[in-house]
Amino acid sequence: IVLTQSPGTLSLSPGERATISCRASETIGDTYVAWYQQKPGQAPRLLIYRTSRRATGIADRFSGSGSGTDFSLTIAGLEPEDFAVYYCQQYGNSLWAFGQGTKVEIK
Amino acid sequence: EVQLLQSGGGFVEPGGSLRLSCVASRSTSARFAMAWVRQAPGKGLEWVSTIDYNGGTTFYADSVKGRFTITRDDFKKTLYLQMHSLTVEDTAFYYCAQVSWPTHFDYWGQGALVAVSS
């Protein structure tokens, strides 16, 4: 399965809503999609798992949704610390794969 | 809380070998599946390998199959990645991660740079 994220870069202002899309090349089970945030020089951090469940300590402005082949991550009201790169990830057939990443930058 | 502390990165010539280590510190004695994920400089994340909770089953990306071996020593609470026949394409930051079986990676190490160059 290939995951394609869009857009590649999202230029937004603090307070705006960010929506990142992740499209799979074939149908994925809803339990198998996760989202990560990565800041420069840091390891990735789990944000969302099983499509829509927030990981421990993740703010409720982060939400995930989707089914089938189309999934999305929404950040409702960007905070200064949210400007980072975001990756979707899926599991299937004993393989794990990541999307190519979406950079959310300050406009 | 889980902490993963990595060691073993460095510089190696093409064709060389290197072993990465990842020590887990957890508040529970339970065993978890573990994985390695790498990131070439300036690039995205690439899954490399996974080992199940008891070491009985391993999984590899095609790009490293036959060259890399993932193992674990639960007595030492340590995960390993033995890498052979390294090429410049293997240059990357390598992260160990705990697998919330089987779907996602819930805790990550700090990363270790492997630089393959002549």
Note the pLDDT tens digit of each residue in B13-38.
Answer: 999 999 999 999 998 878 899 999 99
Chain A residues closer than 8 Å to B95 by CB: 43-44
Residues of B in contact with A89 (CB under 8 A): 45, 104-105
From CA A26, how far away is CA A3, in angstroms rounded? 9
- Per-residue pLDDT, averaged over B111-118, amounts to 97
Strand, helix or coil for residue B72: strand
Mean pLDDT of B62-83: 97
Closest chain A CA to residue B36: A96
Asked if A40 has any chain B CB less than 8 Å from its own CB, the reply is: no
Q: What are the backbone dihedrals phi and psi of residue A5, each rounded to the nearest 5 degrees, phi first?
A: -95, 150
Q: Which of residues 55-94 of B touch A (CB under 8 A)?
A: 59, 61
Q: How far apart are the first and last CA of chain B?
A: 40
Which residue in A36, A49, A96 is closest to B50 by CB distance?
A96
**pLDDT exceeds 80 at position A29:** no
Q: How many other C-beta atoms are found inside a 10 Å radius of the C-beta of residue B65?
A: 10
| Average pLDDT of the residues in B67-94 | 97
pLDDT over 70 at B68, yes or no: yes
Across residues B73-97, what is the average pLDDT? 97
Quick one: closest CA in A to B39, which residue?
A: A43
A17 touches chain B (CB under 8 A): no
Its sign, for the CA torsion B92, B97, B100, B101, is: positive
Counting one residue from A and one from B, how many pairs have CB atoms under 8 Å apart? Answer: 56
Predicted confidence (pLDDT) per residue in A31-86, tens digit: 789 999 999 999 999 999 999 999 999 999 999 999 999 999 999 999 999 999 99
Give the separation between CA A101 and CA B16, rounded to whole angstroms.
Answer: 30
Residue in the structure block whose two tokens are 């944000």: A47
pLDDT band at A1 (very low <50, low <70, confident <90, very high): confident
Mean pLDDT in residue range A19-23: 97
Structure tokens at B86: 């390294």
Dihedrals φ, ψ of B30, to 5°? -65, 150
- The letter for the amino acid at B20 is L
